[in-house]
Amino acid sequence: MNMAKGGGLDFEQPVLALEQKIAEMRTMARENGIDLDSEIVRLEKKREQLLAKTQQKITAWNRVEIARRSGRPYAMDHINASFTDFVELHGDRAYGDDPAIIAGFARLDGRPVCVVAHQKGRDTRENIHRNFGMPHPEGYRKALRVMKLAERFGRPVICLVDTPGAFPGIGAEERGQAQAIAENILEMALLKVPVVVAVLGEGASGGALGIGVGDRLLMFENSWYCVISPEGCAAILWGDRQMAKDVASHMKLTGKDLMEMGLIDRVIEEPPGGAHWNPGAACASLRRALIQELDSLVGIDPVELVDARCERYAQSGVFVESSVKESK
C-alpha cells in the first residue's frame, strides 16, 4: 500500500498516524537488525480495519475532499498504467494548445482507442502549466478535433473527467468558451463510435460536460459530478461558502446518488480509504471497467448507437405535467 501524500484530510489523521508508526518500525528494524515483522503485520491489519471503518462513516463532503486529494491518480497516471502506445496530439488548429486537456490515440487491451482527458498538476509549476485542470475553449476544440478524427477511423472514444470547471477568465470568454462546450455536447451526442466517460475525481458543471457525453458514464466511488461545487452552491444560496459541508449531502453529487437516479451506469470501487491510498489498484479497477464497457458497445450499429445515446439524455431528469384551470 502506498502511503497517502499531501498531509491528509481531518478524518484520515488516525490512519496516517498508524501508517507513520508502521514506517518508523520498518526503519528501526532495518537499521538495527531487529525482527519486528509480527508487530508490523499486526499494525497493518489494524490499519486495514481502521480504513474500512473510516470508509463506512464517510459523508458526501468527505468524498468531495477525497476527489480533490493530491495523491489521487490523475488522467496521465491512468493512461500510463492502463494504456499502451499513447500518442498525444496538440492544438485546435485555430488558436493554440491547451495543456489542461490531453487528447490522443492509444491501445487498451490491444484495442485501438481515442483518449481525451482533463489533466491537473502535481505541484505549483505543473498546476500553472495545466491551469489547475480548467480548460480554455481551445482545449475543448482540440478534444473535439481528436474525437472527430477517431470517428473517421472507427476508434472508440474514452473520456476521463477531472476538472473543477471550465476556465471563466476574460480571454476564455472572448474566445468562445460557452460555444466550444455547447458544440462539444452536440457533436459528442452524434459521434458514430462508442463513447465511454469516466469521472476520476471532480466533475464540475459545463467544464465536465464538454467531454462528458457518452454511451456509458462511470464514476469512481469518491468522485463527484454536479452543475456546481458545494462551495459555489453555498455561496449563491446562503452567501456563506463555509456551509459547503452541509450543502454537499443535499446536492446528490456522488456516484451512489447518481446511480440511484439512473444517471450513470457504474460506480467503480476504490481501495479502502480512497484511490490515493493505492493508486495502482485504482488504475487497475478503471482499466477493467473500461474494457467491460467497451466490449458491450463495440459491434453495435452506428445509427443505433447514436439513437440510443440521444434517447439516454432525452430521458434524463424528471418533470411533472399539470393542468392549470383558467380563472373565471
The distance from CA 282 to its chain's CA centroid, rounded to whole angstroms, is 12
CA–CA gap between residue 114 and residue 261 (Å, rounded): 29
> Are residues 14 and 151 both part of a single domain?
no
For residues 40 and 22, the answer to whether their CB atoms sit within 8 Å is yes
The whole domain housing 41 covers 10-57
- Residue (of 78, 64, 57, 100) closest to 225 by Cα position: 64
> Are residues 51 and 121 both part of a single domain?
no
* Helix (H) or strand (E) run with residue 305 in it: helix 302-314
* pLDDT value of residue 37: 85
> Are residues 143 and 187 both part of a single domain?
yes
> Are residues 307 and 208 both part of a single domain?
yes
Strands, E assignment, the chain: 84-88, 101-108, 111-118, 157-163, 195-204, 216-220, 224-226, 266-268
Q: What is the pLDDT of residues 24-65, one digit of tens each?
A: 888 888 888 888 888 888 888 877 777 777 777 789 999 999
Tell whether 321 is covered by a domain: no
CA–CA gap between residue 157 and residue 112 (Å, rounded): 10
Q: Name the pTM for this structure.
A: 0.87
> Are residues 22 and 94 both part of a single domain?
no
> Are residues 19 and 167 both part of a single domain?
no
**Residue 163's domain is classified under what CATH number?**
3.90.226.10
* pLDDT value of residue 328: 44
For residues 52 and 75, the answer to whether their CB atoms sit within 8 Å is no
Tell whether 325 is covered by a domain: no
Tell whether 115 is covered by a domain: yes
Looking at the structure of the chain, the number of domains it has is 2
> Are residues 150 and 131 both part of a single domain?
yes
Q: What is the DSSP string of 273-297?
A: T-GGG-HHHHHHHHHHHHHHHHHHH
CA–CA gap between residue 287 and residue 250 (Å, rounded): 31
Q: What is the pLDDT of residues 204-225, one digit of tens each?
A: 999 999 999 999 999 999 999 9
* pLDDT value of residue 24: 83
Tell whether 322 is covered by a domain: no
For residues 198 and 286, the answer to whether their CB atoms sit within 8 Å is yes
Tell whether 323 is covered by a domain: no
Tell whether 288 is covered by a domain: yes
Instruction: Output the CA torsion 165→166→170→176 (10° steps).
Output: -150
> Are residues 76 and 29 both part of a single domain?
no
CA angle 260, 261, 262 (to 5 degrees): 90
251, amino acid identity: M
* pLDDT value of residue 50: 78
Q: What is the DSSP letter of 183?
A: H
* pLDDT value of residue 327: 45
φ and ψ of 217, to 5 deg: -125, 120
160, amino acid identity: L
The distance from CA 279 to its chain's CA centroid, rounded to whole angstroms, is 14
Flag residues of the chain having pLDDT under 50: 1-3, 327-328
For residues 252 and 231, the answer to whether their CB atoms sit within 8 Å is no
